[in-house]
Amino acid sequence: MATQFRSPAQRLARRQLRTPRRVSASEDRTLISPLDKRRASVRIGYGLMYLLLALGALVVVIPLYWLFIDGFKNSNELYVLPPSWWPQDPQWNGWGDNNFVHAWQNAQLDVHLRNSLVLVGGSVVLQALVSVTAAYSLSKLRPAFSNIILAFFFATLLVPPVTYIVAQYIDINNLGLGNDNWMFLGVLLPEAASAFNLYILKSFFDDLPEEILDAARIDGANALDTLLRIVLPMSKAVLAVITILTIMASWKDFLWPYVVMAGSQDQQPLMVSLYYDWNNRAGAILSDNVMFAAFFLVAIPPVILFLIFQRQILRGISLSGLTG
C-alpha cells in the first residue's frame, strides 16, 4: 500500500533535487558557438581561458599545498626563506613519530575532536527536533494561528544573530547554560533558533501532495506516524542536503563557541582550541610545524565529506543561496 502512495511524490521529490542530466550536444550551447571555435582568434582565446582557469586552480591549491607540506618540515626548515617546496629533512620517523602524531597528542586533538563531534551531532539532532517538527506542523497540521507563528519564526531571518551576540551570551548564562557541560547546550540551542532550514523544509513539505496524507489519516495514522512513515521517507533528499550542510557548518563554526567556551579548554571544539594554541595558550606552546600538521588534520574531514556528498552539497548551495 505504502509504496503505491509513495511513488508519485518521490518522483516529484527526485525531480526537484536532481542535478540536471547531461543535455545533448545541440542543447548544450553556451556563449561560444561551435562556429566561433573555427576562428583562429577564438581558438587562441579558448586556450587563454584554460590558462586562466589553471592559474586560478593554482591559487586555490598552493595554500593547501603549504598546509600539507609544512607539516613535514622540522622547526628550523619551516622558517628557511624562501620556503622550500620539498622538505629537506622530512619529520617522519614512522607512523608513530611525526608532527601529525605530535599534534594529535600535544594539542589534545582527541579531546577537542570529541567536543566537535558532540556539537556536530547535537546540531543535527536539534535540527530534527526543532526545524523538522515545526516545518511539518506549519505545513501539514496547520493549527489555528499558525500564520502568526510562521511570521514569528521567519521574521528572525531578517536579523543576523551576531548583532545580538552580547544579549545572547548574557541570556545563556542567566539560564545556567554557561557552565560545565551545559555549555554544549549553550552553544547548540541558540544556533538551533535559525529559521533557515525551517524555511527550506517547509517549502519542501508544502509540495508533498495532500491526498497521501489524507489517505494515511483515514487509515488511522496519527500525526507522528504520518511524519515518520510518510513525510520523512518522501523527504530523504532534502533532509540529506540540510543535514550535510548542518554538519559542515558546525565543524567550521568559530565565533559563538569561541565566546561561550572561552574559559574552558576541556569543552572547546577543535577550531576554538586550535585558535588558542595558535596564540600560545599558557603552558602548552606548540611549534609551528606541529600546528601545520594539526590544521591539516582538521581540514581532512570536511574535504572527505565534500567529496562523498558533492551532489547534495552543490545542490544545497543553489537551494539555500537563492530560496533562503
Partner 1 sequence: MTFGSRVRLAISRNAMGYLFLLPAIVVFALFAWFPIVQTFRLAFVHYQDDNLTMPTHWVGLDNFSHLLTDPTLQPSFGAIWWNTLEFTLLALVFGYIVPITLALLINEVRLGRSFFRVIFYVPVILPTLVGTWVWNKVIFDADPQGFLNNILAWFHIPPQPFITDQTQAMPCVVVFATWAAAGGAMLIYLAALQGIPAHLYEAAEIDGASLWARLWHITLPHIRVVMVIMALLQIIATMQVFAEPYTLTAGGPSGATTTVMVAIYDLAFGGGGNQDWNEAAAFGVLLFLILTFFSILYYVVMRRVARR
Residues 221-260 that bind partner 1 (CB under 8 A): 222-223, 227, 248, 251-252, 254-255, 259
Q: How far apart are CA 45 and CA 36, in angstroms?
A: 11
Candidate residues 125, 157, 285, 308; the one interacting with partner 1 per rule CB under 8 A: 157
Q: In angstroms, what is the C-alpha Rg of the chain?
A: 25
Q: Interior CA angle at 143 toward 131 and 214, to 5°?
A: 90
Grid coordinates representing 102 are 605530535
Minimum distance between the CB of residue 98 and partner 1, rounded to whole angstroms? 19
Candidate residues 14, 88, 147, 152; the one interacting with partner 1 per rule CB under 8 A: 152
| 114 vs 171, beta carbon nearer partner 1 | 171
**Binding-site residue total for partner 1 (CB under 8 A)?**
106
Under 8 Å between Cβ of 252 and 271: yes
Under rule CB under 8 A, residue 170 binds partner 1: yes
| 10 vs 146, beta carbon nearer partner 1 | 146
| 111 vs 128, beta carbon nearer partner 1 | 128
Minimum distance between the CB of residue 4 and partner 1, rounded to whole angstroms? 26
| 65 vs 97, beta carbon nearer partner 1 | 65
Grid coordinates representing 293 are 600538521
298 to 317, contacts with partner 1 by CB under 8 A?
A: 298-299, 302-303, 305-307, 310, 313-314, 317
116 to 135, contacts with partner 1 by CB under 8 A?
A: 126, 129-131, 133-134
Under rule CB under 8 A, residue 82 binds partner 1: yes
- Binding mask 38-67 toward partner 1 (x if CB under 8 A, else -) reads ----x---x--xx-xx--xx-xxxxxx-xx
Grid coordinates representing 286 are 606548540
| 13 vs 298, beta carbon nearer partner 1 | 298
| 98 vs 127, beta carbon nearer partner 1 | 127
Under rule CB under 8 A, residue 285 binds partner 1: no
